[in-house]
Amino acid sequence: MDTNTLQALLAVADTGSFSLAAAQLYLTQPAVSKRIAALEEELAARLFERLGKGVLLTEAGRTLLPKARHILAEMEEGRRLIADLATGVSGVLELATSHHIGLHRLPGLLRDYSRRYPQVVFDLGFMDSEAGCAAVAAGKKELALVTLPQVPTDKLILQKVWDDPLMIMVNKEHPLARRGGELKALAEYPLILPEAGTVTRGLIERPFAALGIPLKIGVETNSLETIRMLVSVGLGWGVLPLSMAVDPLVCVELPEVRFYRQLGLVTHPKRSLSRAAQAFCELLLGS
């Protein structure tokens, strides 16, 4: 049982496909199949059920998978620690970030970082905040810059970097702009908002639910840029970061309703950071 075989196991399990796993590992499909077959022979157990073009883990496969992840993570940790003995900052910076942060908060930071540490290679993943947290928890990314979860968890270390106040916004010619802060008026017009299950969706819905105000759900998308575009052309109202309140958008003041979220850094409590990640955190946090 070697690392190449375990990497093949993880790739097939994560993608649900031998062909997709082969593409991810830059191998041929027969090469991946051969590695899995060798592992199954060594363990005397079938690890995958072949169902048409897809595959599913067997009970033996599900038992082995977390152990395989742990072994590979420990080996990668060892490589990092040895690499960190060298002088200078190099290696790979594994960073997950939300699209909003990537567009509005990250550009200057990445520019300064790349100028200071030109030997570092970037492995950036743009994804929803929830997926970014999951990537750090699973060991797939070292760091995440995302909207922080509302409920703390012992599985992640959460550090606030930016306050990000949100406001109700509409096109300046929308009827809500003329009616001002009338709570009951909001229910008459479609709300364009993030998809259910996201941190931002929850904090938007919570105050209206507490006040008993029904919401007329319109378009749902996790892209704040898309929400801003739809609101700016008058297709409804939205709740957006105050930093996005530019013409033709205007804010609708509601004394009874406040929205507040935090953007910040997510790391794993049991994973030591590479020198590349440490240098990024120091630059980000100003230490």
Q: What is the pLDDT of residues 172-183, one digit of tens each?
A: 999 988 876 677
Of 112 and 151, more confident: 112
14 shares a domain with 27 = yes
pTM for this entry = 0.69
Residue 236 — left, alpha, or beta (φ > 0 → left; ψ -120 to 50 → alpha)?
Answer: left
Evaluated on CA atoms 238, 239, 245, 250, the torsion sign reads positive
Of 184 and 233, more confident: 233
Which of 27-36, 176-185, 189-198, 205-214 comes out lowest in average pLDDT? 176-185
- pLDDT mean across residues, the chain: 90
Mean pLDDT, range 69-73, rounded to an integer: 90
Number of domains in the chain: 3
Cα–Cα dist 260/281, whole Å: 24
Q: What is the pLDDT of residue 89?
A: 84
Mean pLDDT, range 169-198, rounded to an integer: 87
What confidence tens digit (pLDDT) does each residue in 198-257 have? 989 998 998 888 888 888 999 999 999 999 999 999 999 999 999 899 889 999 988 778
Boundary residue ending a domain (83, 111, 136): 83
Whether 158 and 264 have beta carbons less than 8 Å apart is answered as: yes
Cα–Cα dist 114/116, whole Å: 5
Q: What is the pLDDT of residue 181?
A: 63
Burial of 76 (0-12, 13-18, 19+ CB in 10 A): middle
Boundary residue ending a domain (20, 48, 83): 83
Q: Check which CATH number belongs to the domain holding 68 and give it.
A: 1.10.10.10
96 shares a domain with 75 = no
Mean pLDDT, range 30-43, rounded to an integer: 93
Is 287's pLDDT higher than 70? Answer: no
Question: In whole angstroms, what separates CA 258 from the centre of its chain?
Answer: 25
Q: Check which CATH number belongs to the domain holding 173 and give it.
A: 3.40.190.290
182 shares a domain with 251 = yes
Structural domain boundaries enclosing 238:
163-260
Cα–Cα dist 119/88, whole Å: 9
Q: Check which CATH number belongs to the domain holding 274 and give it.
A: 3.40.190.10
192 shares a domain with 74 = no
Q: What is the pLDDT of residue 190?
A: 95
